[in-house]
Amino acid sequence: MKSVSVVQELMLINGKWSPSVNAKFFSVENPAERGSVIAEVPRATAEDVDIAVKAAHEAFKSWREVPTTERGKLLWKIADAVEAQAEEIARTISTETGNAIRTQARGEVKSVIDIFRYFAGVVSEIRGSTCPIDNNLMAYTQREPYGVVGAIVPWNAPVQLSSLKIAPAIAAGNTIVLKAAEDAPLGVLKLARICAEYLPPGVVNVLTGFGDECGAPLSSHPLINKLTFTGSTAVGKTIMRTAADRIIPVSLELGGKSPQIVFPDANTDKVVDGIITAMRFARQGQSCSAGTRLYLHTSIFDSFVEKLSAKLSQLKVGNPLDEESDMGSIINKRQFDKVSAFIEEGIKDENVELIMGGLPPKDGPLAKGYYHVPTLFATKNDKTRLAKEEIFGPVLLILPWENEEDVIQAANNSSYGLAAFIWTNDTTKALKTAGKIESGWVQINRGAAQMPGLSYGGYKQSGIGREFSLEGMLDSYTQVKSIMIDFND
């Protein structure tokens, strides 16, 4: 039901709050209440992209000259301002994404603060190396920004994922045009408001719009010097093709189907908790790094599944703003239907057993939003689509294993390679297994989130490039210039 008093937000272009050139808006929905409209945002197209990219191109000329320590100070101020508004931003994220405020949205804002402070701190590490060849010849390198970064982000952790583009890009002296996800632009606009307060106009620009109308022209704009994308593997491939036409660098953070391997000694409540965290149940499983394939050793299979089901049935699914809720709702109807289709497929497949959950109730409070409930399936058949594809819902598939070589092979039998989780107190086994896993991020006895300072990114079709770290910033947002000086008379 569209209410007449719905707020119309504006976009940030060249330091000004602007509608789109076509003056069109589109609605942002609260997914916990089907059909509700919480705000309208500008429906940007190629014309807006052009204005924003040209502004960023102009702003780059002076921003690159700002001393790194000064840039670091500004990032630190942004972090402080986010901290001062943390609760408000968390409520916005919770309302537009359906992510529970207590278990998810507040943590996301904390991560945003940590990310800005981390990159504020490491700016002085943007430097080159020297190569003294002899007394008459010297060579050195310096790291320079690319220019204008085009960034496209998804909705599942919208403000955190935007910070992972904005903070390192501008710390390194680039300017940025970021397109927020159409389902969750409001928290990102709040962050943009803070950025605009501290940064010169044009350094950070934030557009709201759809993938085809705004994302595509952004990725192909001739003044973009670097592309960075987080989202589906399918769109990531399109972005990479677009980058190929202009030979510009591209970073991609894409999907995952990450394995969790539980060894016989890890049959404990603590491991069960860790697995629930790693599966990102608190974000309804809508995470690229979710540990969605659970490999349980046959010797502990039944008792572990029992403990896991018992814990999962205690999770409270409901209104994301309710402090009692552990889990909120799926982002939108399309994703809700996609998750439902996977669950229906699992229920129909005679080689797959439904252990708990399944399709959500058709009436009652949960039917008012796009809620799904924690769902467990078990199977011996890893050919099922449930074992191969990213479901992006609270659906965990359990598979038995017997010997270590087989389980490592099964874990690696995926086109993805983002995260992996190994559960055992046998450190030798854990480290040997970690070494053989084809993933960019392996955690042993830990299911929690990424940590600023440690590189994060995918192997195989999970992506290219690293985020969260100094090396990620240097590789993604700077290019190396080698300079030689000849002192010969």
Residues near ligand NAI (CB under 6 A) are 152-156, 179, 181-182, 210-212, 215-216, 219, 230-232, 235, 238, 253-255, 288, 335, 338, 390, 392
CB 424 → ligand NAI: shortest distance, Å? 28
CA-CA distance, 357 to 375, in Å (whole number)? 4
CA-CA distance, 470 to 142, in Å (whole number)? 15
Q: Read off the tokens for 233.
A: 């593997």
- In the bound state with ligand NAI, the residue whose beta carbon lies nearer, of 219 and 267, is 219
Nearest to residue 180, comparing CAs of 166, 201, 196?
A: 166
* Interacting partner of 163 out of ligand NAI, Mg ion, none (Cβ under 5 to 8 A depending on kind): none
| Range in contact with Mg ion (rule: CB under 5 A) among 26-34, 214-222, 336-344, 385-393 | 26-34
CA-CA distance, 18 to 208, in Å (whole number)? 11
CB-CB contact of 146 with 249 (8 Å): yes
| Range in contact with Mg ion (rule: CB under 5 A) among 68-76, 89-97, 159-167, 427-435 | 89-97
Site for Mg ion in 94-133 (CB under 5 A): 96
CA-CA distance, 474 to 208, in Å (whole number)? 28
Q: What are phi and psi of 368, to 5 degrees?
A: -75, -20
Of 9, 29, 108, 253, which is the active-site residue? 253
Q: Given candidates 108, 114, 183, 326, which one binds Mg ion under the rule CB under 5 A?
A: 183
* Interacting partner of 29 out of ligand NAI, Mg ion, none (Cβ under 5 to 8 A depending on kind): Mg ion
CA-CA distance, 426 to 246, in Å (whole number)? 49
> 387's torsion region: left (phi>0), alpha (psi -120 to 50) or beta?
alpha
CB-CB contact of 128 with 479 (8 Å): no
CB 286 → Mg ion: shortest distance, Å? 12
Q: Given candidates 14, 18, 25, 29, which one binds Mg ion under the rule CB under 5 A?
A: 29
* Interacting partner of 326 out of ligand NAI, Mg ion, none (Cβ under 5 to 8 A depending on kind): none
* Interacting partner of 182 out of ligand NAI, Mg ion, none (Cβ under 5 to 8 A depending on kind): ligand NAI
Torsion of CA 136, 137, 140, 146, to 10 degrees: 130
- In the bound state with Mg ion, the residue whose beta carbon lies nearer, of 96 and 114, is 96
182 is a site residue for Mg ion (CB under 5 A): no
CA-CA distance, 180 to 210, in Å (whole number)? 9
Of 9, 96, 288, 467, which is the active-site residue? 288
Q: Give start and end residues of each alpha helix (H) in 106-261.
A: 106-122, 158-171, 186-198, 216-220, 233-246
Q: How many residues does the chain have?
A: 489
* Interacting partner of 232 out of ligand NAI, Mg ion, none (Cβ under 5 to 8 A depending on kind): ligand NAI
CB-CB contact of 243 with 404 (8 Å): no
CB 298 → ligand NAI: shortest distance, Å? 30
Residues that bind Mg ion (rule: CB under 5 A) add up to a total of 3
Q: Read off the tokens for 387.
A: 């074992």
CB 314 → ligand NAI: shortest distance, Å? 27
* Interacting partner of 141 out of ligand NAI, Mg ion, none (Cβ under 5 to 8 A depending on kind): none
CB-CB contact of 128 with 480 (8 Å): yes
Q: How many CA atoms lie within 13 A of 314 on its CB side?
A: 8
Describe the crossing of helices 158-171 and 106-122 by its angle, rounded to 10 degrees.
10
CA-CA distance, 278 to 292, in Å (whole number)? 8
288 is catalytic: yes
- In the bound state with ligand NAI, the residue whose beta carbon lies nearer, of 39 and 74, is 39
CB 331 → ligand NAI: shortest distance, Å? 7
CA-CA distance, 460 to 312, in Å (whole number)? 31
| Range in contact with Mg ion (rule: CB under 5 A) among 92-100, 364-372, 423-431, 432-440 | 92-100
326 is a site residue for Mg ion (CB under 5 A): no
Q: Read off the tokens for 143.
A: 């790291």
- In the bound state with Mg ion, the residue whose beta carbon lies nearer, of 183 and 326, is 183
58 is catalytic: no
CB 373 → Mg ion: shortest distance, Å? 20
- In the bound state with ligand NAI, the residue whose beta carbon lies nearer, of 202 and 215, is 215
9 is a site residue for Mg ion (CB under 5 A): no
CA-CA distance, 393 to 338, in Å (whole number)? 9
CB-CB contact of 150 with 226 (8 Å): yes
Nearest to residue 438, comparing CAs of 404, 480, 410?
A: 410
- In the bound state with ligand NAI, the residue whose beta carbon lies nearer, of 113 and 254, is 254
- In the bound state with ligand NAI, the residue whose beta carbon lies nearer, of 303 and 415, is 415
The single-letter code of the amino acid at 214 is C
CB 83 → ligand NAI: shortest distance, Å? 25
Residue nearest to Mg ion (CB): 183
CB 98 → Mg ion: shortest distance, Å? 7
| Range in contact with Mg ion (rule: CB under 5 A) among 93-101, 229-237, 385-393, 394-402 | 93-101
Nearest to residue 451, comparing CAs of 118, 109, 75?
A: 118
* Interacting partner of 230 out of ligand NAI, Mg ion, none (Cβ under 5 to 8 A depending on kind): ligand NAI
Positions in the binding site for Mg ion (CB under 5 A): 29, 96, 183
Catalytic residues: 253, 288
